[in-house]
């Protein structure tokens, strides 16, 4: 089968490898759509394990069923989680599934940028989700990123009636904007430096799209009854955006950091300011639980989150290098989907 073997962001080679053989309890999936995630182009993070086949936002069709499996059959359309929890450790039992050691050790064989993927038995047991007939392959492949956004907003305590600022209007920011709308946020402010992404944010539910170079605090106060946002969701690792978020959040509010920085980046933080002046909560969120995937797929099915409108490029496996360039440049694309069967 063909795979896209990652060596670095500018060296991704189409290679032939044997199609994986499945064992008892396993599935072989023909990949129909696989999204390029922002984390896939974090070269400093990925290159340590190169060469490897990336891709974890997958949708595909079951082509082989291992012994002992009765829930799934050939031609079933499914989404699958690359990381799955044990559901029995202290973290899982407290609802922190993404902190589970098992979750961090599980994965696909080899990765979603391939014609076929073997799902290990543990992934089949707790990380496979049927795709509704009305959902396309491309839409279904956004289940995992939307599930991560669901968990993040839960960690941030986003509630009906909140005002929300989303810094960064790439695909993660746009998902946050749409989900915040669905969750009952009363005002949503999108902040970015790219006019094309601000236009997308405006189209997908933001009440105001603001260029990061403007006086954001004044603009938001003017549109928000003199108040700052209850929740600030930072969907970029840029240091300037992180510092901006700390100035932008309302007293008693929450800042969620949804993207990593480059290695070694730190920020100045005055505990006294937090303690005496703001009483602000700072939090992060990583990955998603199986329940988040189920909810995400239902939000996609009902069009409460319109993921299809975020897809800007659909490319065959042979053009994955162009896809990585588009995502890394973060200028001319929103969501890039690879279609390995083309």
Decide if pLDDT at 331 tops 90. no
Q: What are residue 139's phi and psi, to 5 degrees?
A: -60, -45
Helix axis angle for 171-182 and 195-203, nearest 10°, is 20
pLDDT in tens, 106-117: 999 999 999 999
- Domains, in order of start, for the chain: 2-131+306-339 (3.90.180.10), 147-284 (3.40.50.720)
Rounded to whole angstroms, how far apart are CA atoms 87 and 81? Answer: 14
Binned at pLDDT 50, 70 and 90, residue 122 comes out as very high
pLDDT at residue 270, as a whole number:
85
The confidence score (pLDDT) of residue 257 equals 98
Cβ atoms of 255 and 249 closer than 8 Å: yes
Calpha distance 292→132 (Å, rounded):
16
Whether pLDDT at 123 is above 90: yes
Residues in contact with 5: Cβ distance below 8 Å, sequence separation at least 6, in sequence order: 12, 13, 14, 15, 51, 52, 53
Residue 128 β-bridge partners: 80
Terminal-residue alpha carbon distance, the chain: 13
Q: Give the pLDDT confidence of 38-54 residue by residue, as tens digits.
A: 999 999 999 999 999 99
């Amino acid at each position: 089968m063909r795979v896209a073997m990652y060596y670095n962001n500018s060296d991704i080679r189409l290679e032939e490898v044997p199609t994986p053989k499945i064992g008892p309890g396993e599935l072989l999936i023909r990949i129909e759509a696989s999204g390029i995630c922002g984390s896939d182009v974090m070269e400093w993070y990925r290159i340590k394990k190169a060469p490897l086949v990336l891709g974890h936002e997958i949708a595909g069709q079951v082509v082989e069923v291992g012994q002992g499996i009765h829930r799934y059959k050939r031609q079933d359309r499914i989404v699958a989680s690359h990381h799955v929890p044990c559901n029995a450790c202290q973290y899982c039992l407290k609802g922190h599934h993404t902190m589970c050691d098992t979750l961090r050790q599980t994965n696909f064989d080899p990765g979603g940028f391939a014609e076929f993927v073997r799902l290990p038995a543990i992934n089949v047991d707790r990380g496979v989700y049927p795709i509704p007939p009305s959902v396309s392959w491309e839409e279904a492949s956004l289940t995992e990123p939307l599930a991560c956004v669901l968990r993040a907003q839960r960690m941030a305590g986003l509630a009906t009636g909140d005002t929300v600022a989303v810094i960064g209007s790439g695909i993660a920011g746009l998902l946050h904007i749409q989900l915040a709308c669905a969750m009952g946020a009363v005002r949503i402010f999108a902040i970015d430096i790219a006019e094309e992404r601000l236009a997308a944010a405006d189209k997908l539910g933001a009440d105001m799209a603001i260029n990061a170079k403007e006086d954001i605090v004044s603009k938001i106060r003017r549109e928000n009854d003199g108040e700052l946002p209850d929740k600030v969701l930072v969907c970029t690792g840029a240091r300037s955006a992180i510092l901006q978020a700390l100035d932008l959040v309302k007293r008693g509010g929450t800042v969620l950091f949804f993207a990593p920085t480059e290695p070694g980046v730190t920020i100045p933080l005055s505990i006294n300011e937090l303690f005496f002046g703001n009483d602000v909560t700072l939090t992060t969120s990583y990955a998603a639980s199986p329940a988040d995937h189920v909810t995400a797929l239902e939000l996609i099915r009902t069009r409460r989150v319109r993921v299809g409108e975020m897809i800007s490029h659909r490319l065959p496996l042979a053009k994955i290098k162009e896809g990585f360039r588009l995502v890394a440049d973060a200028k001319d694309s929103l969501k890039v989907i690879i279609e390995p069967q083309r």
